[in-house]
Structure 1
């Protein structure tokens, strides 16, 4: 239990003293991200030295007691090492501006009384980095400020400090707004979940789950709570928490977390943390891993920035050696490329991520943007992407004499109601439409990406694809080829039913092509996509017919779930940069394998977690928007780099020639940095 002292509070703001912070030097950044992920928290400020924590929040969503309870439950021993940057406030900006104004009116060295306290932290920070034998922009800032103080030029020192602080504040404000928006978007969707009450299974909405409820979960189900497994074994995909896509085995007694998914197996879980309490860690981890992950260009600009610090130091040394003019040296040291290079790129990424989110596209970090501009091949999984996925039963065909069509549909619906797949829901809806009775059956086993198993009259009942029944379960199809062929040529989806190792019937379902599909695919070609690929389980003839209608270049027909990732890998070996668009549990490997994975709006939790991009609106136009935003972001970043290089080179040259005094050099350099940041900031509202 963490000992908390409430130092001050009023609705919407509370300040704690948290003594345990002193014992965990690197935990503050992790704690801050965890608190920001709580729905309703607006801002968090942590002063580790003072063991102080200030939280601003929405009083309609949270109260002081909830926040205090949340803090008491946090285990800082589990904290990951996330750097906590100093958070600049409006108060500091105002104080620095007042300090700058005071230097205009205070005579001579009296200006030191207001200047030195305000610049001390910047100089100390630079000295600390230099003591660690590192050369970074903070060292350059510290030297420039120190030279200004040495010369008694407090006006320039305070002007530089004010501009540096203002630039950092603007960058942090943009990051904070982007993170808060994405945290809101990552709040879990309300879904259906089976729970057990009085030994009966009932279906409820996930936001209605209460503590100590028993959840019944199978493959493909998202775990909506934190809790222990009461019975069963499963492979749990924890990518949303750990970033690791390889599922882990969990059995009775193990702890599972909200936002993770059951990939294989069946388990019963007792709910111990529900709602906001159970989702905080997942959202915090998403923000930490996705938005903090540096792209290639961020790494490049970071290296460029660090190298430019050395160039500035070298130019300053050369100027001093040639002229012995300390004013010129100070003017040179007040110019560095690194501020504009280091700040503009992450601000541009955050701005474009913010804009994309407002347009219905969730981009998971700068890497997604950077990779998107390289894409030349788009692979579409047909169902739920090019089609709406709103399946409708068109035919119910009995292949034995023991059942009629209504009995077969009732049997299938009674089993399929335990699955949330669109095919399953279509069958259940058809049974409800015809007011068919529920058929008693045994426990349901969901075989991921294949089908369902149960028992009827103590004999095995299997529902699924032909591939599953024929290749995995040894069911004989040879007497029904003609019937199957006729239906498949119509492009229908077929679900087969076997009982006691005999094929007893099939259910045909039809899907509806998205009205915007042709327009979007042609739009992708205009945007430089060279190859459009259709991946479907349909037979070759209907697949070719659809491809011709949509202008698709390559077709992979009769593709099994296992084929999807292999097809992506095959295209990549040919040199293609692949964007894979999918929506199902069995799309997750392909989404991970592709250069960019994009999940549709109504896709499964697993698809959305493994994808780099998630569409927040149910149409294909988001793919075009995503590419447009990504290209615009990279154009902005590259032009910012060129602008910073050209302008700062000119300023440094003028400073070295003695054409600029230190004050003018500081004003021009920092003005350039602010201009580049403002240019990046403006992109979020364009």
Structure 2
């Protein structure tokens, strides 16, 4: 397609597409196409002018080539655009705002007084109806106050004031709805599926397949800790499924043969084969949006407090209005009280502040499932870290393999990889990756695989029982033994590595030593968390004490616990909460799920197990632990903004009431200043919490 470069500076280019009118869908296609070009950092497409502003780095050659070969049909076939983008939503509310302002301006400038009067009466019906409805239900709410203000203005014949009040209320409604829907859409997108491949059961074997190749009628296998990627019916096995993301149920639901399962839910325990019915996931996004909109999780304590306070203040405002009239017999002074209320700003600015903070979090690769969790992070004084995949990198590697009983190293690795590839954990991934690097093929040749949370895996190979997992699992639970005469070799295993024990027929066959390097930023991030007001940083791990002690000393945690089970982590957090502490739990594995549920706020790493992401209240990207510091800063800044909003709303509106009753300003002016302050504080609440300098750091 023909393009023209309108402006170019170093690393920055503005181009114009000669394509006539550009639709919203075409603008999204162009934007996501350019984002996929190597070296492109940021893209903004303006559909009205058919322009694109591109920020890029390094060589511009690939960008010019991509623009020269671009066509909407070709780019659309690449399927780069998500099912839901914010462009259409933003345009809808931009148009609503512009239309509302223009309509008001046109009426003021061109309509004669009788027509403005009729319009005011017609538009007032909505507010009067809502006020009457609230009274009939026994509620003295903000709707009653709005209806009273509008009605008194109409009765006095002050139609301009009535129109101004309704205009400001309408602007507030549009901004609140826009911010809420945008935040919900961002949150729903962050909660969307992140499943690339699934296990397809065909001809009695399992094959790892891209999810895009799965068709209705195919059978897929889902095991403990896995997310169910597609809608369908269970045809084999049974599992306990966590459906919180779909239904809000706190307890897992048992699914057996004939039960229907939904995309996005998670197998908490068990294994099942699902016959796929809807290859595209069956509208999971829409179900998430509905769940979020209905969920009380969106409301923080501060929001609830603001909402309750707003309604509680309504009777006082009405009482003050009546008292002013009784004392002064002056309708103008009475209206000065009625035209100014605290509740409108309280109810509008607080939810906007919280939802905007959640939206800003997503820009920092942090997905927050509700405002109350940011409040909990702001109030937290204790943080508990799982070690593997959290304080250490999510991509550990196999450092060495020690075999026993004259077993062959490559064969033991091949067997271990065959078992481990079924379960999402960083150490399992390391085993699979090592086998791949060595060119070891490990097609399925075992029978049913069973996973024991936080312990290991059990299966049968060529009639022999094979298990792989922790020392506690293989030696204590399963009673496996070390081959006679090889105890010295076992005792000499290097303590600096994490160990996976592979046993065949109850005898140790190999120990896979995993190098789990510490994140380079871990020590500084923990230091920064302490500086942000976290008093107690704890590390808990299932690893041996020597390894845990070395890591704890290096990163600078206040306490550490080694060789712990999932229930130990949860019990520790429960005890901390009973002592009055607010606890953050950070983890990434299936074994972290009980602790994530028990914590005041659970934080999962987004590359971890699906069940951990599902149960967690907040998800952060795996790239940098400093995102936890950013989360703390955002949360504390949010609470500071909410408290500032409280002080401003009460102080400013009280001042307006006093000077109005004193006759210094007219009720019309009071209404204008009140509504302008409400709009102003709402717009301020939509701005970013962190300054540019903090973002760059």
**Structure 1 match to 2:96:** 89
CA 394–682 in structure 1, closer or farther in 2 if over 3 Å, else same: closer
The alignment status of 1:407 with 2:414, answered yes or no, reads no
C-alpha distance in 2, partners of 1:139/1:60?
51
1:528 positional shift: 1.0
What CA deviation, in whole Å up to 9, does each residue of 1:35-86 have, x standing for no partner? Answer: xxxxxxxxxxxxxxxxxxxxxxxx969x9xxx9xxxxxxxxxxxxxxxxxx9
Secondary structure of the 1:308 match is: helix
CA 640–481 in structure 1, closer or farther in 2 if over 3 Å, else same: farther
* Equivalent position to 2:215, from 203, 210, 216: 210
Q: Kindly indicate whether the alpha-carbon contact (under 8 Å) linking 2:266 and 2:614 is maintained by their aligned counterparts in 1.
A: no
1:225 positional shift: 0.6
The alignment status of 1:527 with 2:532, answered yes or no, reads yes
1:394 positional shift: 1.8
**Structure 2 match to 1:513:** 518
Secondary structure of the 1:489 match is: coil
**Structure 2 match to 1:584:** 589
What pairs up with 1:390-405 in 2 under 5 angstroms?
A: 390-401=395-406, 403-405=407-409
* Equivalent position to 1:416, from 420, 440, 445: 420
Q: Kindly indicate whether the alpha-carbon contact (under 8 Å) linking 1:462 and 1:498 is maintained by their aligned counterparts in 2.
A: yes
What pairs up with 1:199-598 in 2 under 5 angstroms?
A: 199-288=204-293, 293-401=298-406, 403-438=407-442, 440-476=445-481, 482-487=488-493, 489-490=495-496, 492-598=497-603
Secondary structure of the 1:305 match is: helix
Q: Kindly indicate whether the alpha-carbon contact (under 8 Å) linking 1:535 and 1:559 is maintained by their aligned counterparts in 2.
A: yes
1:428 positional shift: 2.1
1:441 positional shift: 2.5
Secondary structure of the 2:379 match is: coil
Secondary structure of the 2:584 match is: strand
1:281 positional shift: 4.8
Q: Kindly indicate whether the alpha-carbon contact (under 8 Å) linking 2:588 and 2:607 is maintained by their aligned counterparts in 1.
A: yes
1:466 positional shift: 1.3
**Structure 2 match to 1:106:** 112
1:265 positional shift: 1.6
1:377 positional shift: 1.2
C-alpha distance in 1, partners of 2:621/2:514?
26
The alignment status of 1:173 with 2:178, answered yes or no, reads yes
What CA deviation, in whole Å up to 9, does each residue of 1:490-529 have, x standing for no partner? Answer: 2x11111222222222211111111111111111111111
Secondary structure of the 2:336 match is: helix
* Equivalent position to 2:190, from 166, 180, 185: 185
**Structure 1 match to 2:165:** 160
CA 446–437 in structure 1, closer or farther in 2 if over 3 Å, else same: same
C-alpha distance in 2, partners of 1:428/1:365?
36
The alignment status of 1:136 with 2:132, answered yes or no, reads no
Q: Kindly indicate whether the alpha-carbon contact (under 8 Å) linking 2:634 and 2:690 is maintained by their aligned counterparts in 1.
A: no
Q: Name the TM-score, length of structure 1 as normaliser.
A: 0.83
1:145 positional shift: 0.8
C-alpha distance in 2, partners of 1:181/1:174?
11
The alignment status of 1:644 with 2:653, answered yes or no, reads no
1:684 positional shift: 6.5
What CA deviation, in whole Å up to 9, does each residue of 1:188-243 have, x standing for no partner? Answer: 11332110234432111223322111101211111001100011111111121122
The farther-off stretch of 258-267 and 278-287 is: 278-287
Q: Kindly indicate whether the alpha-carbon contact (under 8 Å) linking 2:390 and 2:588 is maintained by their aligned counterparts in 1.
A: yes
1:119 positional shift: 1.8
Secondary structure of the 2:282 match is: helix
The farther-off stretch of 481-490 and 373-382 is: 481-490
**Structure 1 match to 2:686:** 681
What pairs up with 1:54-93 in 2 under 5 angstroms?
A: 89-90=96-97, 93=100
CA 657–218 in structure 1, closer or farther in 2 if over 3 Å, else same: same
Q: Kindly indicate whether the alpha-carbon contact (under 8 Å) linking 1:224 and 1:274 is maintained by their aligned counterparts in 2.
A: no
Secondary structure of the 1:503 match is: strand
C-alpha distance in 2, partners of 1:335/1:256?
52
1:446 positional shift: 2.3
CA 337–404 in structure 1, closer or farther in 2 if over 3 Å, else same: same
CA 99–161 in structure 1, closer or farther in 2 if over 3 Å, else same: farther
Secondary structure of the 2:686 match is: helix
C-alpha distance in 1, partners of 2:620/2:258?
36
1:253 positional shift: 0.6
C-alpha distance in 1, partners of 2:239/2:188?
29
CA 303–484 in structure 1, closer or farther in 2 if over 3 Å, else same: farther
**Structure 2 match to 1:611:** 616
CA 566–484 in structure 1, closer or farther in 2 if over 3 Å, else same: farther
Q: Kindly indicate whether the alpha-carbon contact (under 8 Å) linking 1:225 and 1:278 is maintained by their aligned counterparts in 2.
A: no
**Structure 2 match to 1:19:** none
CA 287–612 in structure 1, closer or farther in 2 if over 3 Å, else same: same
Q: Name the TM-score, length of structure 2 as normaliser.
A: 0.82
What CA deviation, in whole Å up to 9, does each residue of 1:359-412 have, x standing for no partner? Answer: 1111122101111111111111000001112121122222223x2222222222
State the Cα RMSD in Å. Answer: 2.7
Q: Kindly indicate whether the alpha-carbon contact (under 8 Å) linking 2:216 and 2:276 is maintained by their aligned counterparts in 1.
A: yes
**Structure 1 match to 2:65:** none
C-alpha distance in 2, partners of 1:593/1:147?
53
The farther-off stretch of 653-662 and 603-612 is: 653-662
**Structure 2 match to 1:118:** 123
1:648 positional shift: 0.3
C-alpha distance in 2, partners of 1:244/1:472?
33
C-alpha distance in 2, partners of 1:625/1:606?
24
